[in-house]
Amino acid sequence: MVSNPGRRAALVDAGVEVLAREGARGLTFRAVDAEAGVPVGTASNYFTDRGDLLRQIDTRLHVRLAPDPDVVAGLMTRPKDRSLVTAFMDDLMARATRDRTGYLALMELRLEATR
């Protein structure tokens, strides 16, 4: 397996784009290569198989969609009531809206996991 962290990150982000646009069935090494603008066969040099690519996309999505620790710390100082739940949901929706592609890709991963 090739070790070039920058290229690997670009391929994973390209995988996120393909997953969000085409769904899990459209996620192929060839589609990732095309999205990343690299020669055909590049993704297969960086990932052992499709499952490895999906795992790395999942890890990347959890980083992209993670809550800001400062926001969470601020929210946790509030009283534990319905308004706190609402505030957390507002934060979740704001993150999903900011990274729509990432959120759609995460939903596709969850659907694929149930199949």
pLDDT tens-place string over residues 94-111: 999 999 999 999 999 999
Phi/psi of residue 106, each to 5°?
Answer: -65, -40
The reported pLDDT for the residue numbered 4 is 85
The reported pLDDT for the residue numbered 3 is 76
Whole-prediction pTM: 0.86
Cα–Cα distance for residue pair 14/18, rounded to 1 Å: 6
Distance of CA 26 to the CA centre of its chain: 16
pLDDT tens-place string over residues 3-61: 788 999 999 999 999 999 999 999 999 999 999 999 999 999 999 999 999 999 999 99
The reported pLDDT for the residue numbered 46 is 95
Cα–Cα distance for residue pair 112/23, rounded to 1 Å: 9
The reported pLDDT for the residue numbered 53 is 96
Q: Among 90, 28, 101, 32, which Cα is nearest to 64's?
A: 101
The reported pLDDT for the residue numbered 20 is 96
User: Residue 43 in 3-state DSSP?
Assistant: helix
Cα–Cα distance for residue pair 62/92, rounded to 1 Å: 13
The reported pLDDT for the residue numbered 1 is 56
Under DSSP, the state recorded for 68 is: P
Domains by residue range for the chain, with CATH? 5-65+100-114 (1.10.357.10)
User: Residue 104 in 3-state DSSP?
Assistant: helix
Cα–Cα distance for residue pair 16/33, rounded to 1 Å: 12
The average pLDDT across 68-78 equals: 95
How many DSSP H helices and E strands does the chain contain? 7, 0
